[in-house]
Each structure stands twice: as C-alpha cells, then as structure tokens.
Amino acid sequence: MADIIQLLPDHVANQIAAGEVVQRPASVVKELIENAIDAGATEIKLVIKDAGKTLVQVVDNGVGMTDTDARLCFERHATSKIKKAEDLFLLNTKGFRGEALASIAAIAHVELNTRQQEAEVGVQIKIEGGKVTCQEPSVAPKGTSLLVKNLFFNIPARRNFLKSDAVELRHIIDEFHRVALAHPNVHFDFYSNGTELFNLPVANIRQRIVSIFGGKTNEKLVPVNEETEVVNVSGFVGKPEFAKKSRGEQFFFVNNRFIKSPYLHHAIMAAFEGLLKDGMQPGYFLFLDVDSATIDINIHPTKTEIKFDDEHTLYAILRSAVKHSLGQFNVAPVLDFDSDTNLDTPYDYKNKKVAMPTIEVDANFNPFKEETEEKAPKKESFKGGSGSYGFKKEKQPSWESLYVGLNTNDDEVVTTEGFSSVEFESEEVTGKLFEDEDIQLSKATTFQLQKKYVVTTIKSGMVIIDQTRAHQRVLYEQYLKDITINEGVSQQLLFPLELHFGKVEMSLLQTLKERLEGTGFAFETMEEDTVVINGIPMHVTESEVAIILEQLITDFGDDIPDSGFTQTDMLAKTLCKTLAVRGGEVLSVAEQENLVNNLFACTEPTMSPFNKPAFITMSAGDIEKKFM
C-alpha cells in the first residue's frame, strides 16, 4: 500500500493558520495596531473601507524595519520577542506568535512600506495570497504603513460568512476600544469610509474613557485603586444607577492586555450585590498589574484568555477593592453607629448666624369679649398661659341656609327676577337603557388567577391565558403592522427627552431610525453621542424610552440582519418584550376583557412571538374527570 501521509504546502498551512488568527476584519485590525504599539509608536492612524472587507490600513511612527526584517516578518514563526521557550512566560508585549502577518498575507493583498529613522530610503513589499510580487526601495516617512486589501479574496467561503458592514464595523470598533483604552499615551485616529470616527489625543485613563464613550461618562465613574503584593488594581467602575442590560462597557486589562474572564467578572458582580436590579450589568474599566511569571497567556490563539497562578486571592482582592471604592465615594449605603444624621446642620443654614426668636403680643386682645359681626376678624395672637394660639374666624352660615326659600314640591313653579318660570323635570324613570337580560350578560366573564393568568369561559369549558405572552402577541402584531405601513401613532412630549449613548450604540440606532419612526418615535436630532426625542409611541411612558432603546441595543448587539423584514421582526419582538405586562401586575376587569378580545383578534393567537403557547383550554369533560 502506498504512503498516504504528506506534508502540506506552505500556502495551505498558512491558510489553515489564518483560520485561527484571522476570523474577521477586526482580527486584522487588532494584530496590526498591536504590532504598531510594540514598535514604539506614539501616533497611530487606522483607515478602513467597507468595514475592513476592502481595505484595512494602519500607519504608525514607530521604529520601522530594515529590508531584511521587512521581508522576514511575513514568514511563519518569525518573531522578535521570543528567543527561548522560557520567554513565553515573561511576555510584556502584544504579538509574539509569529503567525499574524504570515496568515494575513496568505488570504489578502498586502502592501508594506517602512523606513527606520537613520535610513535614507525605505522598502516596499507587495504580497498576494502569500506570494511576494514586489520588493523595492521606496520613499517613506519614519515608521510603518501596512495595507491589507481584499480580505479572503482566495477563500470565498470564509468571505461569505462575514456579517453585514454595520456588524463588522462594530467588531472593529470594539477591538479599537480595547487597544486605545490600554494605551492612553498613544494618539489614535480612526477613519471609516473617509469619515473620522475617533480622534483620541494623548491623555490619562479617565480622559481616554470619556473621549471614547462620551462626555456624560465622566459623572458615571467611581475610581478604584488598590496596591497589594499580589496585584495592583486601578481604574474605574460605573455607578449602580447607570447600569445597563448590555455588557458593552466592561473591560479587564492585565499588564495592559485586554482579557475576558468570567471568574473576575463574577467578583465585580459580587461587589455590586444588593445595588443592582435583576439583569443589570455594571460598567467597569479595571487594570490589573501582576507579575508576568504568575500568568500564562499562551492558551488561546487570540490571547484574550489567560490563566492565573492564584485566582482565589485575585478574586478576593478585586471584590474587596471595588466594594471599598463604592463605599468610600458614598455610592454604597453605609451604616455609621457613631453619628446621628438628624443632628447634622442643614447645608443652607451652615454659615448663617443664630437669631433669637421674638414674641409678639396683642395687648388689646380680650378673650372674654365677644366679637360682633361688624368688627373685622382679629389677628393671630399668643396666649401666654396655655402655649396655644388664639384664632377667631368669621361665623359662616350653617348648611341649613342653603335650602332657605326652596320648596320641596317639585311641581311648584319658582319665580325669580329675570326668569318668567322655572319648572323642575320629573325624576320618574320611564324606561331602561338595558334590559335585565342584557345586564346579566354584561357582567364580568373573566377573572385573574395569581396575578399571572386570565381565565375566561367558552362554550366547551374555559380558557387559561398567560397575560404576558398574550400581551406580547397583541403588541407584536400591532408593531409589525405599524412598522410595515409606517403609520405608528406618536404622542408629542412637552419637553424633549435627551439620551446619551456611545458611538457604537449610535451607529446601531442610526440603522434602525427609520423603523423606529414607524412605531411612533419622533427624533429631533441624532448627533455624535446624543439622541433628542420629541415624540414616543402611544402607551409608552418617558421612563420606558431608555429601557426600550437599551434593550434594542442588547438584542441587536450580535447581528443586524440585512433583510428589512428580519429587522422589522426583531424590532417588533424587542418592543413587545419590553412593553408587555408582567406576571404579578393586577389587571382590572375591563383590561382583562380587552386583552382577551385583542388576543383572539390576532392572526396567530395560539403562540407568543417567541413560539411559546399563549393559552390552554380545559373542556367540561376534562374538569369532570378531575372529580371521578
């Protein structure tokens, strides 16, 4: 039998490696920006086109490369950070695998221009699908410029799995945030399709956070600072009242490298215990500085997961540090048994001088003298002996005076000046608006069970309706109709509502703006990080608007469908899920009957929008069997 095992060609091996390193355009952005930071750049410019599918360019002012290094950097397992195996556990830089550029060059058209400070000319290298097509001297500024064009041009199957431009752009922005937050001493510029998205000058950590997530973020931050022998913790956490349902603004950095750690996230949630509503997520930007020998970051291709030597100690320190900061800045409630807040001087009276109280006495007041009707009422006076105030009120006519001159005989004619005659209509009822049978039928035929179910009768038995799922179905079909025909009813606000979001959330809301207007939302402006709303759908309160938009951002966080119908469907589901009545809410009889009537008027009343049964039926036979 012939041998069947053979070595893979280099270009095939590179494409396989690219599947691990380059998952989408955001992976390219991450690798190139981290290489620029490792090169000592203080200014980095990121330019993308069509969400990175057509072009990703990173320009830096780092140290640059020689001709040999420029050619060698595209070879597999070529790196300047590792000399021996022990170096894997002593890393303080970003990239180190030596496969990033080789993998990118295998699946795209790459152009590299680089020059060192002391060199008179630089070098230009062009690679297509892993093959070098050009290498020649070039005139270039100090630093490196690397262009990646037509990503996955030779792997169409991978290209077909990419999401829409809006989704891919959001992933790129996420990677950009992670690197920009970890390096506030670097000036970043970010351009997408010719439009500037971010211009981040050199700043401190707090200023960098505010520059990325908007000016309103500054008031949400609580500083955290704790130094121990195991770890130094610094950064900020968000105040509990600004918690969101989405987990967007949550960042852990270990030695200035972004990581994902559910275990450390649980420590933060434990510190916020009792301060957050169910389902809400706090924001945090925490930097952990640990000994490089106590962590292992070579366990995942994207290097976003690491292992710690002593996770339990780290958990306890992090939880304690966050909890201490929340208490220190009076965010968390504190019990102080040594002081009584009731004895504190009010703020308005802190610097005022003490004034002696004065007593005014009416010398002419005689409590034993009866007042006549002609005299004016006495002013307020002080009675020294009993410590009470004496007041004299005018005598008011008694209630009997209202009936003076009014005869009890309804048929008698009352004559007054200006009227010839006034006749009183007889109060005798001559007919009935409803017959007795109609009154019997109009009595309530529904009742609420355990504040969760609505029970009503039918000819064959009874129907038990889940009030939440039924209302979701009613609202879903209503919003689906409003968005489709663009006839949502809007109620205008007396004072416009102003909300603030990050640039990622704003781009999502811009995409959904037209369909939101179909439901009844009216947007006055939608600029930078501010949304001004002057109209909201019927049956929606102002307090629910922020909840609805945050729920939309959460639901559309992973993907924005290209299909307009799918977008409409997801939007209607989000609205009905947010606005439907909950279990535990008491419904009046009229509300119960209205819910039942609207449910059975729906196109698909049996199921909720999330494919769960909205009601069940019990026939008379089923009930009789229970008594057998």
Which stretch of 101-110, 186-195, 284-293, 340-349 has the lowest confidence by average pLDDT?
Answer: 340-349
For residues 177-205, give the mean pLDDT: 93
**435: Cα separation from own chain's centroid:** 56
**pLDDT of 432 over the 80 cut:** no
C-beta separation of 276 from 240 below 8 A? yes
For residues 513-534, give the mean pLDDT: 87
How far is it, in rounded angstroms, from Cα 502 to Cα 528? 8
Q: Is 438 exposed, middle or buried (0-12, 13-18, 19+ CB in 10 A)?
A: exposed
Q: Dihedral angle at the C-alpha atoms of 506, 507, 508, 511, nearest 10 degrees? A: 120
**pLDDT of 205 over the 50 cut:** yes
Cβ atoms < 10 Å from Cβ of 65: 23
CATH topology of domain 448-617: Ribosomal Protein S8; Chain: A, domain 1 (3.30.1370)
Domain boundaries, the chain: 10-200, 213-328, 448-617
- Residue 459 pLDDT class (50, 70, 90 cuts): confident
448-617 shares the fold of 10-200: no
Report the pLDDT value the prediction gives residue 92, as an integer from 0 to 100. Answer: 59
Sheet containing 522-527: give its strands across. 490-500, 530-537, 522-527
How far is it, in rounded angstroms, from Cα 535 to Cα 625? 54
Report the pLDDT value the prediction gives residue 18, as an integer from 0 to 100. Answer: 65
| CB burial readout 592-621, b (16+ within 10 A) else e | bbebbebbeebeebeebbeeeebbeeeeee
C-beta separation of 490 from 535 below 8 A? yes
Q: 234 forms bridges with which residues in the sheet?
A: 225, 287
- Residue 8 pLDDT class (50, 70, 90 cuts): confident
**Which secondary-structure segment (H or E) carries 13?**
helix 10-21
Report the pLDDT value the prediction gives residue 434, as an integer from 0 to 100. Answer: 43
**pLDDT of 220 over the 60 cut:** yes
Token pair 């009216």 is found at 522
**Which secondary-structure segment (H or E) carries 433?**
none
Give the model confidence (pLDDT) of 321-341 as tens digits.
Answer: 999 999 887 766 655 556 556
Report the pLDDT value the prediction gives residue 338, as an integer from 0 to 100. Answer: 60
Q: Give the chain's radius of gyration (CA, Å).
A: 37
Pairing of strands 295-296, 381-383: unpaired
| CB burial readout 130-168, b (16+ within 10 A) else e | beeeeeeeeebebbbbbbbbbbbebbeebeeebbebbbb
Report the pLDDT value the prediction gives residue 371, as an integer from 0 to 100. Answer: 56
Report the pLDDT value the prediction gives residue 558, as an integer from 0 to 100. Answer: 60
Closest listed residue to residue 145, CA positions, set 173, 124, 131: 124
C-beta separation of 192 from 26 below 8 A? no
What's the 3-state SS for 555-600? HCCCCCCCCHHHHHHHHHHHHHHHHCCCCCCCCCHHHHHHHHHHHH
Q: Which CATH architecture has domain 213-328?
A: 2-Layer Sandwich (3.30)
How far is it, in rounded angstroms, from Cα 308 to Cα 318? 14
Cβ atoms < 10 Å from Cβ of 314: 24
Question: What mean pLDDT is reported for the chain?
Answer: 81
Six-digit token pair at 534? 């002057």
Report the pLDDT value the prediction gives residue 129, as an integer from 0 to 100. Answer: 84
Give the model confidence (pLDDT) of 593-624 as tens digits.
Answer: 999 999 999 999 999 999 999 999 999 888 88
| CB burial readout 497-530, b (16+ within 10 A) else e | bebbbbbbbbbbbebbeebbbbbbbbbeeeeebe
Which stretch of 173-177, 554-558, 594-598, 622-626 has the lowest confidence by average pLDDT?
Answer: 554-558
Report the pLDDT value the prediction gives residue 601, as an integer from 0 to 100. Answer: 92
Helix runs in 183-223, H state only = 205-213
Helix/strand/coil for 185:
coil
For residues 230-242, give the mean pLDDT: 92
Report the pLDDT value the prediction gives residue 433, as an integer from 0 to 100. Answer: 42
Residues 6 or more apart whose CB falls under 8 angstroms from that of 10 comprise 76, 130
For residues 339-348, give the mean pLDDT: 62
Six-digit token pair at 350? 């802190």
Which one-letter amino acid corresponds to residue 125?
I
Six-digit token pair at 164? 């829409």
Give the model confidence (pLDDT) of 151-163 as tens digits.
Answer: 988 888 888 888 8
Give the model confidence (pLDDT) of 52-100 as tens digits.
Answer: 999 999 999 999 998 888 888 888 766 666 555 555 555 556 654 557 8
Pairing of strands 109-115, 250-254: unpaired
CATH topology of domain 10-200: Heat Shock Protein 90 (3.30.565)
| CB burial readout 8-24, b (16+ within 10 A) else e | eeeeebbbebbeebbbb
How far is it, in rounded angstroms, from Cα 95 to Cα 303? 9
Q: DSSP state, 287?
A: E
How far is it, in rounded angstroms, from Cα 184 to Cα 236? 14
**pLDDT of 34 over the 70 cut:** yes
Q: In percent, how much of the chain has pLDDT > 70? A: 77
